[in-house]
């Protein structure tokens, strides 16, 4: 029997040692690119953009030593010539320094991001380094202020618009000036250098502006292509009618981030955007249906309803009061047809099935209106004449009691100095807002619907005529045929005698 081999359990320390051993075997080897012959390397480098050549020179120390050497100047010059319209390298900079100034968007002092090139002083500075390494020309020595020996940059720093000089360049010039034996010649040379740098900086600014315009045009072209791709995809999803009705600007303002980007719209990117687009487009579709499709169907219903009322068929029940057409459009069995899918055909008589259900609805509808109107009839308690006034609680008001109460002589309502009784008040006083077709539930309090108030004066007039306003009907008042005298202070009206109907009208004034 073979002897068992005991393996000690792995501890965290031993596991770390095993992991380190594995990592040692994974040490990367130099790529084949770094083993190339220098001639081949230079040949490849000549076809690179200066920005890429800068990145290559910072890959490792060996490449940096090779590419930053003075003997590699021809490589940088060849790469620079591939950039259209770029001015030649100025005499005060090497090709490597020129490429760094042009294409490395980092501060020359701290390495922080600095997108703006200070062409006239050959520097890139971040906001903080501008404060530290630039000095106002007015603060410089007289020899610098009074002679064109150092180029300046027009900048606004700390809300101060001024001409700024590089501190290092200023100190270097002052040291050179102090050590010079022929100061006049030095100033002359510096003035010539000033003119050269100034002209070259101006050319660089023109090149940069042109490059920036081309970049913006290219980005705008890419955005337009992306925009068209979005619109084409939306049409493929069936939202062409919405795009035609609302127009493209409406969609751009609804999802701005989708159109600001200039990146290519791939299927993957569209997949991430689609849930939000779906929500937006469904909202647009709902708006279009409300503004275009549903109003057409409501107008069709209004025409058919008019025929239903004015030219009823022999088997159509007759009613003394029918709902307004706006109320009809809100009935569930009519609204379902109005809001049917857009592709639903509306030929012939699409509302026939809904009209068949209308008679069963009208009876209950009228009773509910009567109950709501009865709630307004509140007779003062001091006019009861010993009788009990019915409760004003709407929940206890039955439809039969409502019908009886609305037949009282005092059940009158006023609106704009006009008097209305039941049931004329429904047809004469009903009001609808301009957007009533879009309101899903406009049936609020009856006072808001009709804009009416109960005429409490009518109950007093009935009481003065010797009848109880809680039971007296119009017929009772006509049989009573009482005469009333006006007691106004106006002498012309003092002897005016009238019946109860005229007294009610006069009471409005």
DSSP-based three-state secondary structure for 453:
strand
Widest CA span of the chain, in angstroms?
Answer: 142
- 200 touches 87 (CB < 8 A): yes
- 288 touches 241 (CB < 8 A): yes
| Least confident stretch, 162-176, 205-219, 463-477 | 463-477
Domain limits of the chain?
Answer: 344-507
Going by pLDDT thresholds of 50, 70 and 90, the confidence category of residue 2 is very low
Element (H, E) at 462: helix 456-464
Half-sphere exposure of 306 (CA within 13 A, CB side): 5
| Least confident stretch, 6-10, 75-79, 286-290 | 6-10
Tokens of 184: 């006049």
Tokens of 458: 């009518």
Question: Which whole-number Å values give the CA distances from 250 to 28, 227, 255, 277, 475, in the listed order?
Answer: 55, 13, 9, 13, 64
DSSP-based three-state secondary structure for 446:
helix
| Per-residue confidence (pLDDT) for residue 373, from 0 to 100 | 84
Tokens of 141: 């020595």
What are the pLDDT digits (tens) for 243-259?
999 988 888 888 888 88
Element (H, E) at 142: helix 142-145
Distance (Å, whole) CA 110 – CA 126: 8
What are the pLDDT digits (tens) for 386-411?
443 343 433 344 445 666 888 888 88
| Per-residue confidence (pLDDT) for residue 132, from 0 to 100 | 92
Residue 167 makes CB contacts below 8 A (sequence gap 6+) with 132, 133, 134, 135
What are the pLDDT digits (tens) for 308-356?
888 887 777 777 778 888 888 888 899 999 999 888 888 888 888 888 8
Mean pLDDT of the chain, nearest integer: 82
Specify the residue for token string 């020179």.
57
- 485 touches 495 (CB < 8 A): yes
pTM to 2 decimal places: 0.61
Distance (Å, whole) CA 460 – CA 455: 10
- 356 touches 377 (CB < 8 A): no
Distance (Å, whole) CA 137 – CA 153: 10
What are the pLDDT digits (tens) for 431-467?
554 444 554 444 445 555 677 888 888 888 888 888 8
Question: Which whole-number Å values give the CA distances from 256 to 268, 271, 280, in the listed order?
Answer: 19, 17, 12
């Amino acid at each position: 029997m073979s002897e068992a081999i005991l393996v000690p359990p792995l501890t965290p320390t031993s596991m770390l040692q095993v992991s380190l051993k594995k990592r040692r075997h994974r040490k990367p080897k130099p790529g084949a690119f770094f083993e190339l012959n220098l001639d081949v390397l230079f040949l490849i480098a000549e076809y690179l953009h200066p920005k890429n050549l800068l990145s290559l020179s910072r890959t490792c120390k060996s490449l940096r030593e090779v590419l930053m050497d003075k003997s590699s100047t021809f490589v940088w010059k060849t790469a620079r010539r591939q950039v259209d319209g770029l001015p030649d390298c100025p005499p005060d900079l090497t090709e490597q320094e020129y490429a760094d100034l042009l294409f490395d968007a980092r501060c020359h002092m701290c390495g922080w991001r600095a997108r703006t090139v200070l062409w006239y002083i050959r520097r890139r500075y971040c906001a903080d380094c501008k404060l530290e390494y630039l000095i106002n020309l007015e603060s410089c020595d007289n020899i610098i202020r009074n002679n064109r020996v150092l180029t300046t940059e027009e900048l606004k720093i700390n809300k101060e618009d001024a001409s700024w000089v590089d501190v290092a360049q200023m100190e270097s010039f002052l040291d050179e000036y102090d050590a010079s034996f022929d100061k006049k010649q030095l100033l002359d040379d510096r003035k010539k250098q000033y003119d050269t740098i100034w002209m070259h900086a101006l050319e660089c600014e023109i090149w940069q502006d042109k490059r920036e315009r081309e970049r913006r045009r290219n980005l705008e072209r890419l955005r337009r292509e992306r925009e068209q791709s979005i619109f084409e995809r939306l049409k493929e999803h069936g939202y062409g009618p919405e795009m035609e009705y609302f127009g493209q600007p409406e969609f751009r303002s609804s999802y701005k981030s989708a159109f600001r980007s200039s990146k290519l719209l791939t299927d993957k990117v569209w997949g991430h955007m689609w849930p939000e687009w779906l929500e937006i487009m469904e909202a647009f579709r709902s708006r279009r249906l409300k503004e275009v499709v549903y109003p057409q169907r409501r107008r069709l219903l209004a025409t058919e309803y008019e025929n239903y009322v004015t030219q009823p068929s022999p088997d159509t029940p007759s009613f003394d009061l029918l709902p307004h057409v706006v109320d009809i459009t809100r009935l569930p069995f009519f609204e379902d047809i109005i809001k049917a899918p857009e592709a639903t055909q509306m030929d012939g008589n699409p509302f026939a099935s809904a009209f068949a259900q209308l008679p069963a609805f009208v009876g209950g509808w009228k009773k509910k209106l009567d109950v709501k109107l009865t709630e307004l009839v509140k007779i003062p308690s001091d006019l009861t004449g010993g009788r009990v006034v019915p409760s004003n609680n709407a929940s206890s008001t039955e439809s039969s009691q409502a019908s009886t109460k609305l037949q009282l002589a005092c059940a009158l309502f006023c609106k704009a100095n006009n008097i209305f009784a039941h049931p004329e008040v429904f047809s004469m006083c009903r009001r609808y807002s301009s957007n009533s077709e879009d309101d899903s539930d406009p049936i609020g309090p009856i006072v808001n619907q009709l804009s009416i108030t109960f005429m409490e004066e009518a109950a007093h007039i009935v009481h003065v005529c010797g009848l109880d306003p809680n039971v007296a009907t119009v017929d009772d008042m006509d049989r009573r045929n009482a005469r009333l005298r006006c007691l106004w202070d106006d002498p012309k009206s003092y002897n005016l005698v009238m019946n109860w109907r005229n007294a009610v009208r006069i009471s409005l004034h």
